[in-house]
Structure 1
Amino acid sequence: MDQLTIIKVMHEPVIIRFKAGDQGLIMEVNSLFFDDPSAPSGEPGKPFDGLWDYEVVESFFLNSETKDYLEVELCPSTCLVILILYLNNKDDILIFFESCVKKGLDLIFKADINWNKWNGTALIPWRYFPPGVDKMNSYAIHGSGIGRTYEALYPIPREDIESGQGPNFHRLEYFKRFSLKWIMGENWEQPASDLWK
């Protein structure tokens, strides 16, 4: 993986909106369509392992006390492929995939590409969220080779970047405060999940 370098984004920013849904959180993405790299070869509407190697927008929802979190990845391609990971954080990134509680769950997701922009909408069921979500972060990734670009809502501060460090989306200490009640209302209570027992 290439060394991490922070540069200013010089294109129209990705917009991610979260909205209240009856059965879950609605995640809307509006972004430029870079078409780089080409769309993955997965079956339309089915989870695709390794989606992070393509053009993708991701949001992570964290319980900062337990370190459990949900990762949702949305791809703009006509394949409409997605990947959802449940993770218990591990300090060693090389073994973090062993900490997946569930991987490749179904997601109601649709996307359309109109010229050089794409729009996607996903319904993330409440049962997918770990209890007590209180932080989050989002990322957008596109490009190939030396043109590979990683954008973060809450990036690692420049002074915290270590020599030779590559992109790492699982640095939970840089996630920021977030509450589902900001979207659902102060009296809303997160439904219990059978997946996070």
Structure 2
Amino acid sequence: MAEEFRMGAIGALPTLTKSCRCSSVARSGSATNIIRTYNIRTTWDGQPVNHDPIKITVGPVEYTGHVMLSASGPFFNDTWRPPNSVVGEPYDRLWDFEVVEVFFLNDENNYFQVILSPHGMHLVLLYKGKYDLLKDKLPMSYYAAITGPTWHGVAHIPVEYLPPKVSKFNSHASHGSTLERKHEALYPATAGSSRDTHNLDLFQTIDFKEIVPENWSQNYTSSEWDPIIQLG
């Protein structure tokens, strides 16, 4: 669960890309090469996992203004591929399959959730307060590849999907079906607690001001969040 830090050129990361029919306008001139890498080493209730950890990498920010988010690790292949799914497209209830989920939260309890599948589907959701879903199935460029017993996926997140001044985050991974379903968490609950991926009290600090400076700028604007915030 310990955080690893490294810096490198943007081009050093895998260039897994896919065209995106996004409605958002690409931003430019705000690239950074800051990267943070995290490993999911525990189950949702704090027990050590019995396999190589799922790795989550946040950053860098591309010249287009999109934030790269990658996930990689063991491919369990113990749930079926989502039926009637299309690679690169949103998929409803994707959390029922083998996935990695990442949440980005600000101090106003506004948060962005992205769910990534090894099979190439994704699901993007925006919340204002716990469980108060505002939008879902937002388009996003995402590509995933399965190579034998492992998989790797890269998402390019439009920065305007992120609420202003992200300060905390958490990540979960799930696989298996029915009674054999396995749930893991970067920042887990204590043993005996109820499992809740939206338990905002468990989220921990992320230095988003360094990773995505634009998100913390006084001039930050978001076509997704500005109308919501103005309405209060």
TM-score of the alignment, normalized to the shorter chain, above 0.5? yes
Residue in 1 that maps onto 2:118: 76
Change (3 A) 1:105 1:185: closer
1:49 aligned onto 2:92: yes
Q: Which amino acid aligns with 1:171?
A: N
Between 1:178-187 and 1:117-126, the stretch displaced more is 178-187
CA deviation digits over 1:3-57, x for unaligned, max 9?
x765320100001111222222101111100112111021221111100000000
Q: In 2, are the aligned partners of 1:142 and 1:148 still within 8 Å (CA)?
A: yes
- Please, which of 136, 143, 155 is the counterpart of residue 103 of structure 1? 136
Residue in 1 that maps onto 2:52: 12
1:120 aligned onto 2:153: yes
1:35 aligned onto 2:35: no
Residue in 2 that maps onto 1:193: 222
Q: CA RMSD in A?
A: 2.0
Structure 1 unaligned segments of length 5 or more: list them. 91-95
The number of equivalent residue pairs is 179
Residue in 1 that maps onto 2:209: 181
Question: 3-state DSSP class of the match of 2:124?
Answer: strand
Question: 3-state DSSP class of the match of 1:10?
Answer: coil
Change (3 A) 1:184 1:5: closer
Change (3 A) 1:86 1:47: same
Shift of 1:185: 5.7
Residue in 1 that maps onto 2:199: 171
Shift of 1:186: 9.6
Q: In 1, are the aligned partners of 2:171 and 2:186 still within 8 Å (CA)?
A: yes
Using the alignment, how far apart are the partners of 1:182 and 1:140 within structure 2? Answer: 26
Q: Which amino acid aligns with 1:25?
A: V
Question: 3-state DSSP class of the match of 1:134?
Answer: strand
- What is the TM-score normalised by the length of structure 2? 0.72
Equivalent residues in 2 for 1:133-144 (5 A)?
Answer: 133-144=166-177
Q: In 2, are the aligned partners of 1:39 and 1:54 still within 8 Å (CA)?
A: yes
Structure 2 unaligned segments of length 5 or more: list them. 1-43, 228-232
Q: Which amino acid aligns with 2:222?
A: S
Change (3 A) 1:147 1:75: same
- What is the TM-score normalised by the length of structure 1? 0.84
